[in-house]
Structure 1
Amino acid sequence: MPSDHTNATGLTTESSTLAGEIFADGVGAQAGPPTTPAAGTGTAGQATPGAHSHGGPAPTGSPAERFTSTDPDAFGVPTGREETWRFTPMKRIRPLLDGAPSDAHLTWTTDLPEGVELTSVEADDPLLKGLPEPADRLAALARQRSGGAAVVRVAKEAVLDRPVTLGLAGAGSDSPDDAVVWGQLVIEVGAFAQATVVLDHSGLARYAAGVAVLVGDGAQVTLVSVQDWAPGAVHGGQFDAVVGRDATFKQVVVTLGGDLVRLVSNVQYAGPGGSAELFGVYFADETQHQEHRLWVDHAVPNCRSNVLYKGALQGENARTVWIGDVRIRPAATGTETYELNRNLVLTDGARADSVPNLEIETGEIVGAGHASATGRFDDEQLFYLCSRGIDAETARRLVVRGFFADVVQLIGIDALQDRLMASIETRLGALPGLDEQPVEQSA
């Protein structure tokens, strides 16, 4: 049934639903390792009775094998042959992995609502020692080289009247070495507080940073991280969320700019009843490399996680990588989890890698699953739009808008959503009057 209802992106609800229908029949085979357990791969192949594991040939870098340390040397220097680094262009990320000390910094702009404090701590502060440990050499270097951390504190039971906004801008470097900016940010949200925090990255920089979000019991926290870097920027980072008892954490990652962006997002639960939602959109143009790795560790009972990432690629050598790891440990009874990644390849010469991994070590769960799809437009969908009087190029762009819109609108900040959708349209060379050409579709 046709409808005129529109969301914050200006797209009709019906056209937004095209996101789930743009793939032709048969598209969506997992572009990752086989779904048979590998002997000797952590618990895979050695699972307890009733356990279930999706993994690949040893070594897989599967959740069971995950190594963490605050010492960069404990990881060694990556060569690109390691599972953790095999998708990453090592030449481009090498300056971050070399780990040279630097006093370079980004320019910060802040908007702090009442009930929020921005301060800093030294490297030996107990707060930093209690954070989740880095999962690779790059994150360990960022922890070590940052020399402390900026700390955003939200008071317990605070209900913020607007988002906390941190604008992090790079202006490039006049030195021939383009010094790396090292950073560490901790976001502490008190019990039963409600807060949204926006990290808005822009400009030109080589940036390596860690972000830790400590979600108090019963709190509701949304973290939005926008990577809208200038061409040539390199960004490597690790996000860690520790979700308290009956707390809710939502993360929305939007990656559009930069030459190379590699982000690792980790979630662990500090008590039962926690919920984590990890959403993301990414759009890679010619020669861009965008890599997103996720790790959700269910180790306590009755917690929930949901992962949804969508990406599009266009141009020669555009490359995206999505790795999703979920582990359900023996004690995590009552777990409910699902992860989904979809990639839309718009032109020849672009490549998307998608590898969902799920390891279950108890049969006493509510449900668990994963899915991955990579493909081009469904010709029938484009034919449908064209039959409504819309030219082929506009139809193509409308479908891409719909593909991203349902995730972007989860940010919940109208001005930011509009800006991001406008940036996506610019990449597509959006035609004038695009908003005046609605798409109708039967329910």
Structure 2
Amino acid sequence: MTATTEKNLSTDHTRATADTAHSHGGGTVPEASRADRASSFALADFPVPTGREEDWRFTPVNRLQKIFAGELHGTGPVVTVDADEQVRVERVGRDDARLGVAGAPGDRSAAAAWESFGEALVLTVPRGHTGGRHTTVSVNGDAAAAEEASAQHVLVVAEELSESLVVLDHRGSAQVSQTVEIDVRDGAHLTLVSVQDWEDGAVHLSSQRAKVGRDARLKHIVVTFGGDVVRMTTDAAFTAPGGDVELLGLYFTDAGQHQEHRLFIDHAVENCKSRATYKGALQGQDAHAVWVGDVLIRKEAEGTDTYELNRNLVLTEGARADSVPNLEIETGEIEGAGHASATGRFDDEQLFYLRSRGVPEADARRLVVRGFFAELINQIGVPLVQERLMAAIEAELDRTMEAARR
């Protein structure tokens, strides 16, 4: 069975708000405008979540109490950098004036990370730099990192007219609340890939906040496979006309895992474009995936062009996917805006087609899942990362086949 929602709005429409109310305990509570959501660098400005708040209603808050406590001073994951020769790599104190450039935290876990980190990693791609190799930031946790909650801060600056690719690669085990700031300056093109390939039991909350300058382009790719609880919040704000943001994501949620991806695209200026495409597969008892996509088109943002899409493929019984696209529009003078969301099982027609041509059922299922993810994986642009992700998908499918044989 497939559940689908579709919304499309264009210049023929007047002022509108789509999907701004949600059910709570049998009633319906209107959601406040995304423009009015609180942000602050102070932990005290955010109460400890109970799970009844709109931003936390899908999240297993009982599994995040160490991070909510705000004392994130444990031994964090080890961070190493393999950088392009022209990329400047610095480790700076929290008093560095560049930190905070992408805006204030929007929830308690992000504020806890801000107040607790001691040292930040800063990557700067110099003005006009093009043609270099990609930069990899490896974040490796171990048993010590899994014992106590820790904080981490990364700032990536793409200076004017530069082109670059940065990969954040998370592995091992940890309890970490992380901030990733992304500053894409005028005319720059940055691709940032964040891979969450944690071991079972890891807890990772990441607030990735981007600001995008005039005629700048950001491609932001999120890949999530492992961990116990992984919650990624990605915010992108346009600061000048001509900006272009593409948010891509894929996730494979296994038994007992909670993987949550929340997006917010703030169209605050005119003539900018955004696209968001996230795809996920789920398998196993109590596998839970959450995708929330918020797009705000402010009254000043005439000429906006935006679309967001989420697709979920449920492979076994006992898995659950929540998908909530939100589109808030304050001006009718736009190029276009829309969203789509669908959750379902295998396409029976595809399986029938493959099996009718002699493909065994297990192989047919593999082919369907590979095709489901292949389009996004091929856009990453790093062959070694792409090969690793396809291998991880194969491993997840092996688990599915093994469970089916039991």
* Contact 2:283/2:400, CA 8 A, preserved across alignment: no
Alignment of structure 1 residues 31-430 onto 2, 5 Å:
50-54=14-18, 55-56=20-21, 57-60=28-31, 62-173=33-144, 178-429=147-398
Distance 1:291 1:72, change over 3 A: same
> Any idea what SS the aligned residue of 1:133 has?
coil
For residues 367-402 of structure 1, give each alpha carbon's deviation from its aligned partner in whole angstroms, at most 9, with x where no partner exists: 000000001112121100101110111101110011
After TM superposition, the structure 1 stretch with the greater mean CA deviation from structure 2, 97-106 or 212-221, is 97-106
Counterpart residue type for residue 263 of structure 1: M
Distance 1:99 1:320, change over 3 A: same
In structure 1, what is the Cα distance between the partners aligned to 2:238 and 2:91? Answer: 25
* Contact 1:124/1:148, CA 8 A, preserved across alignment: no
Counterpart residue type for residue 253 of structure 1: V
Counterpart residue type for residue 51 of structure 1: R
> Any idea what SS the aligned residue of 1:425 has?
helix
Instruction: Name structure 2 gaps, 5 residues minimum.
Output: 8-12, 22-27, 402-406
For residues 398-425 of structure 1, give each alpha carbon's deviation from its aligned partner in whole angstroms, at most 9, with x where no partner exists: 1001101101111011111011011111
In structure 1, what is the Cα distance between the partners aligned to 2:249 and 2:356? Answer: 32
In structure 2, what is the Cα distance between the partners aligned to 1:236 and 1:30? Answer: 28
> Any idea what SS the aligned residue of 2:167 has?
strand
In structure 2, what is the Cα distance between the partners aligned to 1:414 and 1:214? Answer: 26
Shift of 1:340: 0.2
- Do residues 29 (structure 1) and 4 (structure 2) align? yes
Please identify runs of 4+ aligned residues in structure 1 that moved more than 6 A. Answer: none
For residues 287-342 of structure 1, give each alpha carbon's deviation from its aligned partner in whole angstroms, at most 9, with x where no partner exists: 00000000000000100000000001000000000000000000101100000000
In structure 1, what is the Cα distance between the partners aligned to 2:212 and 2:337? Answer: 19
* Contact 1:114/1:160, CA 8 A, preserved across alignment: no
> Any idea what SS the aligned residue of 2:194 has?
strand
Shift of 1:93: 1.5
Could you state the TM-score of these two structures normalised by the residue count of structure 2? 0.92
In structure 2, what is the Cα distance between the partners aligned to 1:168 and 1:80? Answer: 29
Tell me the residue number matched to 1:21: none
Shift of 1:59: 4.2
For residues 190-244 of structure 1, give each alpha carbon's deviation from its aligned partner in whole angstroms, at most 9, with x where no partner exists: 1000000000000010011100110010000000000000111000010011111
> Any idea what SS the aligned residue of 2:99 has?
helix
Counterpart residue type for residue 254 of structure 1: V
Pairwise CA RMSD: 1.8
Structure having greater relative contact order (Cα 8 Å, sep ≥ 6):
1
* Contact 2:102/2:182, CA 8 A, preserved across alignment: no
In structure 2, what is the Cα distance between the partners aligned to 1:95 and 1:58? Answer: 30
For residues 73-116 of structure 1, give each alpha carbon's deviation from its aligned partner in whole angstroms, at most 9, with x where no partner exists: 11111111111111001111221111124141211222111211
* Contact 1:59/1:83, CA 8 A, preserved across alignment: no
In structure 2, what is the Cα distance between the partners aligned to 1:160 and 1:74? Answer: 44
In structure 2, what is the Cα distance between the partners aligned to 1:431 and 1:283? Answer: 12
In structure 2, what is the Cα distance between the partners aligned to 1:107 and 1:67? Answer: 32
Counterpart residue type for residue 54 of structure 2: E
Counterpart residue type for residue 112 of structure 2: L
* Contact 1:194/1:220, CA 8 A, preserved across alignment: yes
In structure 1, what is the Cα distance between the partners aligned to 2:211 and 2:331? Answer: 22
In structure 1, what is the Cα distance between the partners aligned to 2:383 and 2:161? Answer: 25
Distance 1:217 1:431, change over 3 A: same
Counterpart residue type for residue 206 of structure 2: G
In structure 2, what is the Cα distance between the partners aligned to 1:222 and 1:90? Answer: 32
In structure 2, what is the Cα distance between the partners aligned to 1:221 and 1:168? Answer: 20
Could you state the TM-score of these two structures normalised by the residue count of structure 1? 0.85
* Contact 1:61/1:84, CA 8 A, preserved across alignment: no
In structure 1, what is the Cα distance between the partners aligned to 2:178 and 2:5? Answer: 31
Tell me the residue number matched to 1:439: none
Q: Which has the higher strand share?
A: 2
Shift of 1:124: 2.4
